Amino acid sequence: MFARGRSALLLTATLFAAGNAGAETFTFDKEHTKIVFIYNHLGMSNQFGRFDGFDGEVEFDAAKMGASRASVTIDVASIDTDVAKLDEHLRSEEFFDAAKHPKITFKSTEVRQTAAKALQIAGDLTIKGKTRPVVLDATFNYLGEHPLAKMIKAYAGAQYASFSAKTRIRRSEFDVGLYAPFTSDTIDIIIETELRQKK
């Protein structure tokens, strides 16, 4: 057991050693970040949608990942299912009521490192004025100079980080449960993100 633990620590040190002392603040590379939700439609198929408008910051300490933080704000009106009439309905009072509740927010309350590259990010998710605790299972993918920094100047001069995360919520807990359970109450949320160090 000690040998396995020591190996994990050595792997972590190797991945994070260069130039990563202390927490750094990162913002989303929006061209390479996706916030996707998945729901089951009448037991027939799994359907996908996404939010295209979002902002936020991740404060990440590679040497002490439990000290990391995240905050995200999502524009409800940016919802996109590739079906215009459905998007309009989802923005209406029957669902998200974007006019009265234009933002979805997530703010972390605790980050737990569960393996060398695995995290659990606990936090408060607020949708339509309802705040509920959620936990995102996250994988730390990369930290360092952007792989294209030497070829594309726009990527040079900053560290980059990337993560994959997922969670599952019940939409009825946020007062957007219309038509459940015909259309699934459970919603899977998937986040793929690349982030640039904030200057």
pLDDT value at residue 1? 42
pTM for the whole structure? 0.86
If one counts the domains in the chain, the total is 1
Domain of residue 160, residue span:
2-197
Residues of the chain with pLDDT under 70: 1-21
pLDDT tens track for 79-110: 999 999 999 999 999 999 999 999 999 999 99
Tokens 């040497």 correspond to: 63
* Dist CA 66 CA 115 (whole Å): 11
Which residues, 6 or more positions from 118, have their beta carbon under 8 angstroms from its beta carbon?
137, 138, 139, 140
Question: Is the peptide bond between 147 and the residue preceding it cis, with omega within 30 degrees of 0?
Answer: no
pLDDT value at residue 97? 98
- Domain harbouring 165, CATH code: 2.40.128.110
Is 32 within 8 Å of 161 (Cβ atoms)? no
pLDDT value at residue 199? 81
